[in-house]
Structure 1
């Protein structure tokens, strides 16, 4: 065993110091020293470069299947989260006084309208049928796959969907509108009122057709009194409204006109055109021609066009009442007859009694208002207890008062039995006030 320090110096060689050797023979030590002392200016042999393929590492040709820990469905969730939280939006949409940050790609995917715009554009929607809340609901529907139409603001949503031409959303909304469970009676009237400012005939007509037993309750409301003349005509002209008699339709028209007569009298002809005078009993139509104590009703009668409507209605109802049932003209008159309303039976309505009955009262505007007050006090209970009238529907007190001969001759139901002759006038009616002599 040997331990020694060897100092090696040579041009271009490093100094080897403290070379400790253990169990190395002298011959090996000499070879090491000799190698260190060799000159470093000789040319080193260069190893020629080779590729992996050249040295035998061929590419792996078989497919390798990997099990990624992140499912692709998560990508959709992340994108939905970005859209819902409005991250990375590219455009601003201005509607009324509100500003919406939106993804242009989403808007362009659903509707052609937004394909005219580019990123960073400020888009202003000034169409009167598109309200801010309508656009808000439309965009929520676009970015939220769980969004469903809600009752609140459904008309604004529909108008925006129609403006931007979104057929899938429109189809969803019509599925809602077509449901008589969701939109019947009261709700139909509300939707009609909401649709009126937008002038949507198809939606208005659908909702009008649903207003049946709720009609008289609708007439009691402030909303009815504030309707424009064309919408009042549309409501009164519906054959689906449920009334005890056509007289109630006339009184409903008078209620709207009387609310602001000076401003509305120019629409009187249009409004009265919705009243079907031929469906009234002749004695009531005759009473309309008498001198009226109410100045509004008198001005109505003084209007030549309205007076002509009353006369035509009276002529028709009298002819039908007294014409021989076997006359060949009966069929022709039936063709000319106005469409029937949906007649209902309200046993608590005093003017619905037969005129022979001691409980019968003549329907004037004062009695009609009292009738409406009772309807208001009953609310939905009034609608629920109504039944549709048939030829057999009659109050027991009226049955007792009717002459057996008259009962036998009644072939069809009329809300109030007419007098034997219209010339008998009001004086032949029990409890009826005589015509004014003024």
Structure 2
């Protein structure tokens, strides 16, 4: 047993000795013999390999004295940066001329305008537009509020037409965009749907300008935008600018489809231009006659817009006898219309009588001018034009008005701008006064 224990101890001692052994590698120049070489010899060997050995501070590298005054050897495997060298201390670095590069804005604009690397497709009625989604997001709230970035977006053609989207995207890419008036309605409707605030404001800059839209152009825009609910506000504005052009508009078929509320606005406006208040009555007759069965329910409201007190007295007295148009007769004998006619006759004659008692040379037009006036005009195409006090006004009938509308359809398109305004406070040299003067000359 003791022998076994002794052998065990011996074996353990040998293992301990083997575990304490370490591996040591010493870098030496192979040209020198290991048994005779020294640190000094190794330094001299390296010094012969460089031009300025003093710069390497070899003594500092290879010699180090320990606490026990024993010379120690250090490794040559050191980093350049440990020597104190770096690239940050270059003299005049900031003074160097830097090379030019393409501006990011220029490169992006080229990519956007050339449709390079597009990120989304817009589909409108089977036509596809390759676009950059970020451009759409910048200007359109419709696209910026999408939760996911899509690869394909389909837009309804009835609100965003192909032409309108193309012009809208072109507007986004342009620094100084100019809208085409021929397509401004389409563009505005598309901008409203896509919520492109800047484009909407651009369109309104044209709508607000009376030089762009007034009278005939305002009427044309009104007609063109009738089927677009997004244009309702614009249509209402254009309606207020139809004044001299009203009678020409009445001569068109588009007038017959005028909404009731819009017709009421026109008939009730002080700004419309007419030769006589009788025309306002005939305008209502023309609109009602286009679809009498459905529109006759609006008689009361429409007739309330007619200012019968501004009509010639002679017409009011003879209308129920001279007129032969069936629809006009039905309206004239309508209880409310008949009451308005009789009431206007009574007011005009009573005021004329009161003026005559005072010794004034009363004319019916003097009293008519006291009420809210229209913009009175004198159109040389109007064959039935007379002063409000002329007895020949009793001969005016709806057939004459229809003939006048035919004349307006065939005249030059700028005829409306050539008509002249009449001052209701001034007496007109009408056919009645001319006839009186000629009779006086004959008697003399």
- Whether the TM-score (by the shorter chain) exceeds 0.5 is yes
User: 1:176 corresponds to which residue?
Assistant: 206
Larger radius of gyration: 2
User: Once the two structures are superposed, what CA deviation does each residue of 1:220-277 show, in whole Å capped at 9, x if it has no partner?
Assistant: 1122223333333333333222111111121222222223434443444444343322
Q: Which deviates the most, 255-264 or 104-113? A: 255-264
User: For 1:119, what is the secondary structure of its paired residue?
Assistant: coil
Q: Provide the C-alpha distance between the structure 2 equivalents of 1:229 and 1:58, rounded to a whole number of angstroms.
A: 85
Equivalent residue in structure 1 for 2:233, among 188, 199, 202: 202
Q: Provide the C-alpha distance between the structure 2 equivalents of 1:264 and 1:397, rounded to a whole number of angstroms.
A: 38
Q: Is there any run of 5+ residues in structure 2 with no aligned partner, and where? A: 1-29, 47-74, 359-366, 438-444
C-alpha displacement at 1:187, in angstroms?
0.4
User: For 2:185, what is the secondary structure of its paired residue?
Assistant: helix
CA contact (8 A) 2:319 2:394 kept: no
Q: Residues 228 and 99 (structure 1 numbering): CA distance in 2 closer, same or farther, change over 3 Å?
A: farther
User: 2:377 corresponds to which residue?
Assistant: 344
More helix by share: 2
C-alpha displacement at 1:399, in angstroms?
4.3
Q: Provide the C-alpha distance between the structure 1 equivalents of 2:383 and 2:157, rounded to a whole number of angstroms.
A: 51
CA contact (8 A) 1:244 1:344 kept: yes
Q: Provide the C-alpha distance between the structure 2 equivalents of 1:232 and 1:300, rounded to a whole number of angstroms.
A: 17
C-alpha displacement at 1:141, in angstroms?
1.6
User: 2:62 corresponds to which residue?
Assistant: none
Q: Residues 88 and 319 (structure 1 numbering): CA distance in 2 closer, same or farther, change over 3 Å?
A: farther
User: Once the two structures are superposed, what CA deviation does each residue of 1:108-140 show, in whole Å capped at 9, x if it has no partner?
Assistant: 222333233222254344596555544443332
Equivalent residue in structure 2 for 1:229, among 234, 256, 260: 260
CA contact (8 A) 1:350 1:361 kept: no
Q: Is there any run of 5+ residues in structure 1 with no aligned partner, and where? A: 1-34, 328-333, 404-438
CA contact (8 A) 2:135 2:172 kept: yes
Q: Residues 236 and 175 (structure 1 numbering): CA distance in 2 closer, same or farther, change over 3 Å?
A: same
1:394 pairs with 2:437: no
User: For 2:89, what is the secondary structure of its paired residue?
Assistant: coil
User: 2:171 corresponds to which residue?
Assistant: 141
**Count of matched residue pairs:** 360
Q: Provide the C-alpha distance between the structure 2 equivalents of 1:324 and 1:358, rounded to a whole number of angstroms.
A: 19
Q: Residues 307 and 355 (structure 1 numbering): CA distance in 2 closer, same or farther, change over 3 Å?
A: closer
TM-score when normalising by structure 2: 0.67
User: 2:138 corresponds to which residue?
Assistant: 109
TM-score when normalising by structure 1: 0.68
Q: Provide the C-alpha distance between the structure 1 equivalents of 2:214 and 2:157, rounded to a whole number of angstroms.
A: 30
Q: Residues 295 and 402 (structure 1 numbering): CA distance in 2 closer, same or farther, change over 3 Å?
A: same
Q: Which deviates the most, 162-171 or 205-214? A: 162-171
Q: Provide the C-alpha distance between the structure 1 equivalents of 2:349 and 2:193, rounded to a whole number of angstroms.
A: 52
User: 1:279 corresponds to which residue?
Assistant: 310
Q: Residues 229 and 143 (structure 1 numbering): CA distance in 2 closer, same or farther, change over 3 Å?
A: same
Q: Provide the C-alpha distance between the structure 1 equivalents of 2:373 and 2:277, rounded to a whole number of angstroms.
A: 9
Q: Residues 53 and 305 (structure 1 numbering): CA distance in 2 closer, same or farther, change over 3 Å?
A: farther
User: Once the two structures are superposed, what CA deviation does each residue of 1:11-48 show, in whole Å capped at 9, x if it has no partner?
Assistant: xxxxxxxxxxxxxxxxxxxxxxxx99x9xxx9x98853
